[in-house]
Structure 1
Amino acid sequence: MKRKTKILIGLASAAVLVCGGLFGAGLYFYKVAVVPAPKSFLSKTKPIKKGDPLYPAHHWYQNADKQRWYEMSATRHLKLDANYIAAKQPTKKTIIIAHGFMSNKDNMFNYAYMFHNLGYNVLLPDSRGLGDSQGDYIGYGWPDRLDFVKWIHKVIDHNGSNSKIAVFGTSMGGATTMMVSGVKGLPHQVKAFIEDCGYTDVYSEVAYQAKELYHLPKFPLVHIVSGINHVKNGYSFKDASALKQVRKNKRPMLFIHGAHDHFVPTKMVYPLYRADKGPKQLLIVPGPGHSRSIQNRPTLYRNTVKKFLDKYLN
C-alpha cells in the first residue's frame, strides 16, 4: 500500500512538473507571439537612401501634409493614432491602410504613395500596441477589426455620407482587412477590400511559425498560448479567423499573395478566396519573400489595384 502511495505521489509530482514546464513555456511563447517587443525572427529595417527604389515614396511620405487623427478603441479604452493624407484633388474616395505584424503606419509609406498617386485620400492607423497607439498586446486583426469600423465612421464624418471607402492591408493587415469584411452592419460607404498576404486564422499562422522557427508541434503549446491569450485579451487564436469572416462578406475583394511566401504560406490564400461570397479576384505575384509583391512586380501590382478600384469605387 505504501509503495502504491509513493508511486502515485511520484506520478502526481511528475505531472505537476510537466504542467508547470508547459505553462512556463506557454508564457514565454505568449511574449514572443503577442507582446509588442523586438522580435529576433524579424529582419531589421534598413535606412532608405537616395538610389533605393523606395526612396521617392519614402521622401514623399516624410514631407506629406499629414493630419494626426485619434480614436478610442472599441474595447479596453485605448487611445489609437493615425495619419490622414488628403488627395491632391478633393475627393470622397479614401483608402484605409492596415499595417502588418510588429509594424506601424509609417512603414506603409509605399502603399500610401501608390494610392495617393491614384487620386485617393489615405488613412493610416496604428493597430493596438503598435506604433503610437496604446496597448500591451498584438491583436492580430481580431480586436482591431472593430477599431477599423470606428476609423471608417471617422472618415465618413470627415468626408461626408457620400464617401466611398476601401480597406487595404498587408500580412496581419491583410487578415485585419478580411476580418473587417465580415463585421455585421458595416457602413454602406465601404465599397471594397484589398488584402495582401493575410493568413487564414491566427491559430494556423502561429502553429506554422512554431514549427518553422522552433520545430515545435502545435499541440499542446499553441493551445496553451491561445488559452493564455484568451484569459488576458478576451479571444482565442481560433476565434481570430479571417476565413470565417470572408464567408460573411458579399462586397468586392481583391486577394493578393506572393507566389513563394514562406512566412504566411501562399497556400493560405486559396481557401480564403474560395470562401469569399462577394465579387472577387485573385492575383498571385511571381517572386520570393513575404509582403514583397509590390516590390517584386510594381507595375503589375499597381495596375491590378487601380483596375479593381476603378471598377468598384467609381
Structure 2
Amino acid sequence: MRLLKLFISSIGILFSAFVSVGYLLTNRMMFIKKKDPSTIYEREILLNEEQRNWYERVPKKDIQIDSKHGYTIHATVIQTINAPRYVVFSHGVTETRLSSIQFAMLFEQFGYNAIIYDQRRHGNSGGKTTSFGYYEKVDLQAVVQYVKHWKGPDVEIGVHGVSMGAATAILYGGTYEHHPLSFIVADCPFSSFSKQITHIAQGDTSPYWTERAVQLANLFIHWRDGYTLSEVSPIRVVDKVDVPILFIHTLEDTFILPEMSEDLYEAAKEPKQLVLLPKGKHALGYRKNREAYRNAIADFLQHVKKD
C-alpha cells in the first residue's frame, strides 16, 4: 500500500510538473511581453522629426473594423494619393501600427495610400492572445476586405509585413482563395514558427531538450489556444500565393535568420524577388539600408503596379 501511494504521488508530481512547464512555455508565447506604447510613440513620433512632420500633415482617419473573433481592430487610413491604390501594413510582434509609419511614407512616393492597423492584442486592438500569424491572418483578411468594400472592384491592394506581420501576410495570401491582393512585401519573415522558437531556444538549451520543449508547447498551444505550431508555417502555404512576392531580409539578422527568407523564396511561385541587405539587425532593414530598400521596392512595384 505504501508503494502504491508513493507511486501515485510520484505520478501526481510528474503530471503537475508537466502541466506547469506546458503552461510556462505557452504563456511566454500567447502573452508575449509587448513594448510600452509610449516607447514606440517616442521612437516613431517624438524623436523622429521627419516622421512626426509627415504624420501631422497627412490626411488621416481612425477607423474600427470588426474581427471575426469578436473584438475590434483599430486602424488608421492615411489618404494622400488621389488614386484607388492602398497598402495594408502588418507590423511585427510587440509593436503597434505606429511602427508602420516609416513604410507608409515610403510607399507614398510610389503612389499608394496606407492602412496601418494594430495586430490583435497589440496597440488598441482587442484579442486575448498572440498567435504569430494564425489568428492574425484572419484579422488581416478583415482589413483587406474593408478596403475592398470601401473602394470597390477597381482598387489595387498590396500588403507589406514585417517579421510576424510578414508571416501573417504570407499565411493570408496562401490560405484564402480569391483574395483581392495585387502583391505582398515580406520583410524578415520566419518560414516556420516551430523552427523559429527552436532557434531562439538554441542559445540556452540543448537541441534534445529544445525539440522536447517544442513538442510540449505544441500540445499545450493546441489545447489552450486552438491551433498547432505546424499551422503557423508560411513555408507550407507560400507556394499557394498567386501574386508577386518580394522577400527582404538583412544578412545581420540573428533573430530570424535570412535563410528563412531564402527558403520561402525557393518555395514560392513566380513572380518573386529576393533582396538580402547588408546592414541591420532584425526588422531594421529599411532604417539601415534606406536607399537599397527603396530601390528594391521601386523595382518590384515597377512590375506589379497598375496604370
User: One fold, TM greater than 0.5?
Assistant: yes
Q: Distance in 2 between matches of 1:50 and 1:67?
A: 17
Alignment partner of 2:150 out of 158, 161, 170: 158
Name 1:19's counterpart in structure 2.
15
1:218 is paired with a residue whose SS is helix
Name 1:33's counterpart in structure 2.
29
1:120-131 alignment, distance < 5 Å:
120-131=112-123
C-alpha contact (below 8 Å) 1:103/1:131 kept by paired residues: yes
C-alpha distance 64-36 of structure 1, shift in aligned 2 (>3 A)? farther
1:289 is paired with a residue whose SS is coil
1:255 is paired with a residue whose SS is strand
Q: Distance in 1 between matches of 2:88 and 2:34?
A: 26
C-alpha contact (below 8 Å) 2:133/2:164 kept by paired residues: yes
- With normalisation by structure 2, the TM-score equals 0.90
Name 1:68's counterpart in structure 2.
62
Q: Distance in 1 between matches of 2:203 and 2:147?
A: 40
Percent identity over the alignment is 22
C-alpha contact (below 8 Å) 2:40/2:98 kept by paired residues: no
C-alpha distance 182-142 of structure 1, shift in aligned 2 (>3 A)? same
Gaps of 5+ in 2: none
| 2:42 aligned partner, one-letter code | P
| 1:47 aligned partner, one-letter code | E
Q: Distance in 1 between matches of 2:70 and 2:261?
A: 33
C-alpha distance 25-276 of structure 1, shift in aligned 2 (>3 A)? same
Q: Distance in 2 between matches of 1:109 and 1:311?
A: 24
Name 1:119's counterpart in structure 2.
111
- With normalisation by structure 1, the TM-score equals 0.88
Deviation string for 1:4-46 (max 9, x for gaps)? x72x654554343233223212212222221154479xxx659
- What RMSD, in angstroms, separates the aligned Cα atoms of the two structures? 2.5
| 1:65 aligned partner, one-letter code | P
C-alpha contact (below 8 Å) 1:48/1:55 kept by paired residues: no
C-alpha distance 59-293 of structure 1, shift in aligned 2 (>3 A)? same
Deviation string for 1:129-168 (max 9, x for gaps)? 1111101101211112122122112111222210111111
C-alpha distance 47-269 of structure 1, shift in aligned 2 (>3 A)? same
Name 1:193's counterpart in structure 2.
184
Report the CA distance between 1:287 and its aligned residue. Answer: 1.4
Q: Distance in 2 between matches of 1:184 and 1:146?
A: 9
Name 1:256's counterpart in structure 2.
248
Structure with the bigger percentage of helix: 2
C-alpha contact (below 8 Å) 1:180/1:245 kept by paired residues: no
1:195-274 alignment, distance < 5 Å:
195-212=186-203, 217-274=209-266
| 2:169 aligned partner, one-letter code | T
Q: Distance in 2 between matches of 1:18 and 1:277?
A: 47
Name 1:47's counterpart in structure 2.
42
